[in-house]
Amino acid sequence: MSRSTPVSEPHKIKTVRLLSFPTLEERKKHLADAGFNVFRLTPSQLSFDMVSGGTSAVSQEQLAGQLVGDEAYAGSRNFEKLQRAVHDILGHGYVCPTHGILGSTKLILSTMVPAGSVIPSNGRDRMDVLAPRDVTVVDVRDRSEPVFTGNVDLEALEAAFAQGSVPVVDVQAFADGQHPISLRNLRAVRDFADRHGARLVLDGSRIIENAWYIQRHGVGRADRDIRGLVREMVKTSHVLQMDGAQDPKASAGGLLSTDNPADHEHFMNEVVVFEGLHTYGGMAGRTLEVLARGLEEMVDEDEVDWVMHQTERFTQRLRDAGVPLERGCDGAYLRADQILPQAGASARDTLSAALYLLAGVRAVAMHRRGSEGLVPVQIPRLALTNEQLDQVADAIISLVAQADGITGLQVVEEGPWRDQMAYHWVFPDLDPFEFDTFPYQVHTVERVGVLTRGQREKAIRAAGYNTFLLSSADVTIDLLTDSGTSAMSTDQWAAYDAARPTSATSDEYPRLMKAFKEALGYQFNLPTHQGRAAEHILSQILIQPGQLVPGNMYFTTTKLHQELAGGVFVDVIVDEAHDPESDHPWKGNIDLAKLRALVDEHGAEKIAYISFEHSVNMAGGQPVSMDNMKEVYAYCAPLGIPVFFDATRCVENAYMIQFRDPRYADTPVGDILREMMVYGDGCTVSGKKDFLINIGGLLAFRDNAEWARQAQELLRVYEGQVTDGGLAVADLAAIARGLEEMVDDRYIHTRVQQTRYLGRLLHDAGVPIVTPVGTHAVFLDAKRFLPHVDQDEYPAQRLAAEIFVETGVRAMERGNVSKGRNPATGENYRPALELVRLTIPRRVYTNDHMRAVAEGVIRVWEKRESLRGLRFVYEPEKLRFFQGRFELL
């Protein structure tokens, strides 16, 4: 059970939902079209939608559950699953599903509450729906309780019972989102209800938040786990009602549970009238399944800690800046009446409109008008990063600072409910807030491995100190590779699902061809199943045995295929690339003098082609300058030497040009990319990196139809149809969509800057890394990290293993082990670069994860002197880094 503040998310991002950031002009238009009522705006018109109902990110298991809804009208398996979850987690013996929290309330009223009854409650928002139904709600919340502000004042309760017939006492866990109740008070209310023949109905929609609060603040509860506390709260009630769109993270749905068979009987007979049947309750089977899985997951201690930590942090940031607010269990509830007193009765809606105008953020008070002057800024569970939340908070702080210049909305249309309101407004002259953060939110998450240090020691020993041989389930943060590890977007998944499969020509094929042409500008595009397949075909077409292939540092698969075709790779990268301490900005450049010398010595006809890699992987993710591409091409074209890019990380390279070359500072990355590609005759691509897909590749030719024809011949023989390259049609659809997303300037900026952020954290702590930091990875310099370990004792291998033991982070050796032995001498090559690669997958980890990684590596750095090297106990002949095993010296 963890009680300390969590450092980073206990999960990684599995899929993302893209965010849009409307401009100020667009925001003005949307707002006017919506009658200045932000309730009427749609998510695609927003930057961040700060509402918590049904907006949570879900686990991949919940997402999978969505597809196993059996949609049986009666007796569905999903209902049986829900029964088990309610029994196991909540402890109640009977459950009646409903379409939502209002469905649950309706059943309680119709089975238990005769007209004219009195219902004491600790929540006020309940009045919105009970008041129109001939029920008198009496507020019995204890205003004097400082900690458990949702406690019921037992004297007020007694007074309520004196007011009329009280069949039900309504208690909300975290009433109105703000007021937690203590277990002791809940028990006292139960005793009271029992003595007076009334039922205690607990609304547990936010029971997790309340249980966490008890764990933190309840006397003698710190040793209790969330699961036990939830169960105890539920068992204290007669009836539990729950909103599936809150703690269980479903999109809709609800339930009533009880241990009383007679009450359940009543619910079952009534549910058919208003909701559906007692085995589906007005929910789709898939929603039942997601709800059931959500109940099982919601008591996960680490997840609860993370969600609550986000809320605390967000609220604190606003408090520290003096923003008037009340703390909510799911966010900060802004005191609109204090922030905008000049707006009078429309203070809340004015605040909402102004926040949207300023930053595109939606915060909205729902339900009826009137009541307290609060605008809730709720945090969708698991959906946003701390960095995003910090910026939302900063937008609010900026708004509060400019509040004096904001006049109140003027009512044009009105009604008792908030959605009915429409206004007129003179736009205030606000200084708009600009977000600089990841342009997506979390859609689904995947829990990560959390082993103890002792377990990790055992795991790495069992893996022969080789991180390739670890089970990914044991890894907390997986920085082995950025290849095929991207989180796809919901748009990619939608395209994936919608693709019509065929083994002939698919609808996706022409779409993909168009997308390739738009992204890279090349005429002939051949899909391949991944990068090495394209490298194979290109090498076979262009290399005559004995020819040379100059390139800017080798990559394992690329060089292998060149050699299999009879070619000889020659490294012509600038010398600075081999110096981990050089701060040359374009360490990926080809040294034109080296290239010239090679051509002069052997003649142009001896050169098969130039193998020109963007953002050079083995050099540390180092970019190539636009001028260098231009110069190399200008030199090669007249000599008839083709130039082929390895464009695997071409977008990252394009971004670095935008970032470092002032002439391109205002050019969109997509335009820079197309210009880059002009200085080449074609390219190979491992799409598993920049294309934001998990599988796929490309072989492209700018305009040479004969090469394309030859390549298609080989494609048919080795890969698949020319129209799919051996890929599933659905994957073609995902690639086409990825090609659009990859050149989004906001995305690629945050992508590369995240890598640089990790590098900065390490560099500032004195950890030796390759500088400047590259685009996709931070490379630790093992020679400087472990200078006392000889290179033949594999310092980088040892360091990667130790980082796993210390932190659960998986890295990759790129040094003596990877380079191998010289077959002539049998000696290790002992390469200049002895590195450990911390590779950042795209859209998967947050900056809090990066901080956790840095802290762990810094801990290893601090005890570096105690680390000894390794020796092989099993050494394969080829590519020994994959399967080799070691022991400690």
Residue type, 649: R
Please, which of residues 464-503 interact with ligand P61 by CB under 6 A?
481, 483
What is the C-alpha to C-alpha distance for residues 481 and 71, in angstroms, rounded to an integer?
40
- Closest separation in Å from C-beta 558 to ligand P61: 6
Cα–Cα distances (Å) from 621 to 541, 589, 624, in that order, read: 28, 12, 10
Closer to ligand P61 by Cβ: residue 180 or 621: 621
CA within 13 Å, CB half, 6: 23
Strands annotated E in 93-135: 94-98, 118-121
- Closest separation in Å from C-beta 430 to ligand P61: 45
Over the window 138 to 167, marking each residue x when it contacts ligand P61 by CB under 6 A and - when it does not, the resulting string is ------------------------------
Closer to ligand P61 by Cβ: residue 97 or 738: 738
Tokens of 198: 């009334």
Strands annotated E in 140-185: 168-172
- Closest separation in Å from C-beta 591 to ligand P61: 19
Q: Using an 8 Å Cβ cutoff, are 537 and 683 in contact?
A: no
- Closest separation in Å from C-beta 652 to ligand P61: 11
- Closest separation in Å from C-beta 555 to ligand P61: 5
Q: Using an 8 Å Cβ cutoff, are 538 and 716 in contact?
A: no
DSSP 504: S
What is the C-alpha to C-alpha distance for residues 285 and 78, in angstroms, rounded to an integer?
6
- Closest separation in Å from C-beta 697 to ligand P61: 5
- Closest separation in Å from C-beta 539 to ligand P61: 12
* Site for ligand P61 contains 47 (CB under 6 A): no
Closer to ligand P61 by Cβ: residue 396 or 616: 616
Please, which of residues 556-575 interact with ligand P61 by CB under 6 A?
556-558
Local structure of 98: helix, strand or coil: strand
What is the C-alpha to C-alpha distance for residues 478 and 447, in angstroms, rounded to an integer?
12
Closer to ligand P61 by Cβ: residue 433 or 586: 586
- Closest separation in Å from C-beta 621 to ligand P61: 9
| Phi, psi angle pair for 49, to nearest 5° | -105, 100
* Site for ligand P61 contains 587 (CB under 6 A): no
Please, which of residues 537-556 interact with ligand P61 by CB under 6 A?
555-556
Closer to ligand P61 by Cβ: residue 564 or 889: 564
Please, which of residues 758-787 interact with ligand P61 by CB under 6 A?
none
Exactly one of 444, 648, 775, 797 binds ligand P61 (CB under 6 A); that residue is 648
* Site for ligand P61 contains 617 (CB under 6 A): yes
Closer to ligand P61 by Cβ: residue 384 or 577: 577
Q: Using an 8 Å Cβ cutoff, are 307 and 382 in contact?
A: yes
- Closest separation in Å from C-beta 812 to ligand P61: 6
Tokens of 476: 């907390």
Closer to ligand P61 by Cβ: residue 362 or 559: 559
- Closest separation in Å from C-beta 102 to ligand P61: 51
Closer to ligand P61 by Cβ: residue 78 or 686: 686
What is the C-alpha to C-alpha distance for residues 353 and 287, in angstroms, rounded to an integer?
33
Burial (CB count <10 Å: 0-12, 13-18, 19+), residue 835: buried
Local structure of 6: helix, strand or coil: coil
Closer to ligand P61 by Cβ: residue 18 or 683: 683
Local structure of 173: helix, strand or coil: coil
Residue type, 134: D
Please, which residues bridge with residue 813 across strands? 836
Exactly one of 247, 576, 613, 741 binds ligand P61 (CB under 6 A); that residue is 613
DSSP 86: I
What is the C-alpha to C-alpha distance for residues 277 and 266, in angstroms, rounded to an integer?
13
Select from 316, 327, 304, 311 the least CA-distant residue to 149: 327
Exactly one of 177, 376, 531, 550 binds ligand P61 (CB under 6 A); that residue is 531
Stretch that binds ligand P61, among 144-152, 234-242, 528-536, 790-798 (CB under 6 A): 528-536
* Site for ligand P61 contains 612 (CB under 6 A): no
Select from 240, 258, 255 the least CA-distant residue to 201: 240
Select from 567, 623, 568, 547 the least CA-distant residue to 590: 623
- Closest separation in Å from C-beta 709 to ligand P61: 24
- Closest separation in Å from C-beta 515 to ligand P61: 19
- Closest separation in Å from C-beta 560 to ligand P61: 9
What is the C-alpha to C-alpha distance for residues 833 and 819, in angstroms, rounded to an integer?
10
Closer to ligand P61 by Cβ: residue 331 or 588: 588
Closer to ligand P61 by Cβ: residue 474 or 646: 646
* Site for ligand P61 contains 646 (CB under 6 A): yes
Closer to ligand P61 by Cβ: residue 284 or 840: 840
What is the C-alpha to C-alpha distance for residues 698 and 700, in angstroms, rounded to an integer?
6
Q: Using an 8 Å Cβ cutoff, are 312 and 216 in contact?
A: no
Distance of CA 376 to the CA centre of its chain: 24
Stretch that binds ligand P61, among 186-194, 530-538, 725-733, 787-795 (CB under 6 A): 530-538
What is the C-alpha to C-alpha distance for residues 230 and 147, in angstroms, rounded to an integer?
19
* Site for ligand P61 contains 532 (CB under 6 A): yes
Select from 657, 822, 323, 724 the least CA-distant residue to 502: 724
CA within 13 Å, CB half, 88: 14
Stretch that binds ligand P61, among 117-125, 213-221, 529-537, 669-677 (CB under 6 A): 529-537
Residues in the interface with ligand P61 (CB under 6 A) total 16
- Closest separation in Å from C-beta 636 to ligand P61: 20
Closer to ligand P61 by Cβ: residue 337 or 719: 719
* Site for ligand P61 contains 388 (CB under 6 A): no
Please, which residues bridge with residue 96 across strands? 256
Closer to ligand P61 by Cβ: residue 329 or 553: 553
Please, which of residues 669-698 interact with ligand P61 by CB under 6 A?
686, 688, 697
- Closest separation in Å from C-beta 26 to ligand P61: 39
- Closest separation in Å from C-beta 613 to ligand P61: 6
Stretch that binds ligand P61, among 333-341, 379-387, 402-410, 526-534 (CB under 6 A): 526-534
Closer to ligand P61 by Cβ: residue 236 or 557: 557
What is the C-alpha to C-alpha distance for residues 815 and 881, in angstroms, rounded to an integer?
10
Exactly one of 105, 237, 346, 530 binds ligand P61 (CB under 6 A); that residue is 530
- Closest separation in Å from C-beta 769 to ligand P61: 18
Residue whose structure tokens are 């942090």:
313
Residue of minimal Cβ distance to ligand P61? 531
Handedness of CA 733, 736, 741, 742 (dihedral sign): positive
Stretch that binds ligand P61, among 354-362, 501-509, 525-533, 653-661 (CB under 6 A): 525-533
Please, which residues bridge with residue 327 across strands? 332
Q: Using an 8 Å Cβ cutoff, are 731 and 496 in contact?
A: yes
- Closest separation in Å from C-beta 648 to ligand P61: 4
User: 276-281, long-range: CB within 8 Å, 24+ apart, which pairs?
Assistant: 276/97, 276/99, 277/73, 277/74, 278/96, 278/97, 279/74, 279/75, 279/76, 279/79, 279/97, 280/73, 280/76, 280/78, 280/79, 280/97, 281/96, 281/97, 281/98, 281/99, 281/103, 281/253, 281/254, 281/255
Closer to ligand P61 by Cβ: residue 50 or 573: 573
Binding stretches for ligand P61 (CB under 6 A): 481, 483, 530-532, 555-558, 613, 617, 646, 648, 686, 688, 697
